[in-house]
Structure 1
C-alpha cells in the first residue's frame, strides 16, 4: 500500500486538514509530537490507533508537500 493512501483530506473532518485515515489525528499533530522530541514509541502508546506505517505516512506527506513549495529568490 502506498503510504500516502493512509492520509485523507475531508472538509468535514478537522476543517479539511490532512489526517491519518480513519482517525481525527492530523499530520500536523503527529509531526508536532515528534518535533517536540517525543519518541515514536511514546506516540504509538498514547495513540494506539496509530501504526508505525501511519507515522511514516505523515513524514512522507510532509516530504511531498515540501517538494512542492515554491521559493522566492528574494526570500533566500
Structure 2
C-alpha cells in the first residue's frame, strides 16, 4: 500500500516487517538515508541500484523529512 502524499513509498507488513520501502522494491527508506548519510549522491545510489530512480531516492528523503517533522511537546511544570 502506497502512502498518501508519497506515491513512491509503500508500507506492507509482509515486506521488510512493515517498514517504509520504495514501492515495488524491498529497499527500505532507512537504507537510502544511510547511504546518503554515508556520502553517496542520489545519482550514485540510482546507478548502484538500477531498479531505483533518482526520483525514488528523492521521494525517500522527502518521506523521511515529513516523518521527522513532528511537534515537540513539553510537559507543564
Specify the TM-score bucket, using the shorter chain as the normaliser. 0.7 to 0.9
2:52 matched residue in structure 1: 50
Dislocated runs of 4+, deviation >4 Å? none
Which structure 2 segments of 5+ residues have no match?
Answer: none
How many corresponding residue pairs?
A: 72
Greater strand share, structure number: 2
Deviations 1:6-63 (A, max 9, x none): 0000000000000000000000001110110112221111100001110111011011
- Give TM-score, length-normalised by structure 1: 0.83
- Give TM-score, length-normalised by structure 2: 0.82
1:22 matched residue in structure 2: 24
Greater helix share, structure number: 1
The residue matched to 2:6 in structure 1 has which SS?
helix
Q: How does 1:1-76 map to 2 (within 5 A)?
A: 4-68=6-70, 70-73=71-74
Which structure 1 segments of 5+ residues have no match?
Answer: none
